[in-house]
A and B are shown apart, each in its own frame.
Chain A
Amino acid sequence: MTVSQTIFRKALLDSQKDRPVGLSDSNGHPAGSRFDVYRNNVAVALSEALATGFPVIAKLIGEENFGAVAGVFLRQSPPSSPVMMHYGAGFPDFLRSFEPLKHLGYLGDVADLELALRRSYHAADATPIAPDALATVPPEALGEVSIGVAPSVIPLQSNWPIHAIWAFNMQNGPKPEAISQDAIILRPDFDPEPHLLPAGGFTCLASLMSGEPLGVAAAKATESDKDFDLGATLTLLLSGNALTSITIPT
Chain B
Amino acid sequence: MYDASRSPQGLPNLPGVGYKPQHYSDLIASPGTVGWLEIHAENYMGDGGRPIAQLRQLTERFPISVHGVGLSIGGEGRLDPEHLVRLKHLVGWLNPTVFSEHLAWSTHEGAFLNDLLPLPYTEDTLTRVCDHIDVLQNTIGRQMMLENPSSYLAFDESTLSEPDFLREVTKRTGCSLLLDVNNVFVSATNLNYDPKQYIADYPLEYVGEIHLGGHDEDQDDHGKPLLIDSHGAPVVAPVWALLDHTLALSGPRPILIEWDNDVPEWPILHTEAARAEIALSKVTA
Which residues on A are within 8 Å of B, measured CB to CB? 1-6, 8-9, 12-13, 22-27, 29, 31-35, 37-38, 41-42, 45-46, 49, 78-85, 120-125, 151-152, 187, 190-191
SS of A interface (majority): loop
> What 6 A-B pairs come out closest when comparing CB atoms?
A82-B70, A122-B46, A31-B153, A124-B47, A190-B50, A125-B48
**When the two chains form their complex, are residues A24 and B156 in contact, meaning their CB atoms are under 8 A apart?**
yes
B75 at the interface (CB under 8 A from A): yes
A3 touches B222 (CB 8 A): no
Cβ-based interface call for B123 (8 A): no
> Which residues of chain B have a CB within 8 Å of any CB of chain A?
42-43, 45-53, 69-72, 75-76, 80, 82-83, 86, 105-115, 117-118, 120, 152-157, 190-193, 220-222, 224, 226, 228
* A80 & B192 in contact (Cβ 8 Å cutoff): no
Q: Is the CB–CB distance between B114 and A4 below 8 Å?
A: no
Shortest A226–chain B CB gap in Å is 37
- How far is A3 from B120 in the complex, measured between Cα atoms in Å? 8
Known contacts A27-B192, A78-B112; A83 and B45 CB within 8 A of each other: yes
Bound-complex Cα distance A123 to B51 (A): 11
Contact of A22 among B115, B156, B190 (CB under 8 A): B156
Q: Determine which of B69, B105, B113 lies in contact with A78 in the assembled complex, contact meaning CB atoms within 8 Å.
A: B113
Query: In the complex, A129→B154 CA distance in Å?
Result: 60
Q: A29-B221, A82-B72 are in contact. List 16 more A-B contacts (CB 8 A).
A: A1-B156, A24-B154, A25-B224, A26-B154, A26-B192, A31-B152, A31-B154, A35-B153, A37-B152, A38-B115, A38-B118, A46-B114, A81-B83, A82-B42, A122-B48, A190-B49
- On chain B, the residues within 8 Å of A78 by CB distance are 111-113
Given A3-B120, A23-B156, A25-B224; A85-B45 close (CB under 8 Å): yes
Q: Which residues of A contact B107 (CB under 8 A)?
A: 82
B86 x A152 contact (CB < 8 A): no
Q: Is the CB–CB distance between A49 and B49 below 8 Å? A: no
A37 to B220 Cα, complex, angstroms? 10
Chain B residues with CB under 8 Å of A3's CB are: 120, 155, 157
Residue of B nearest to A150 (CB): B48
Q: Which residues of B contact A23 (CB under 8 A)?
A: 153-156
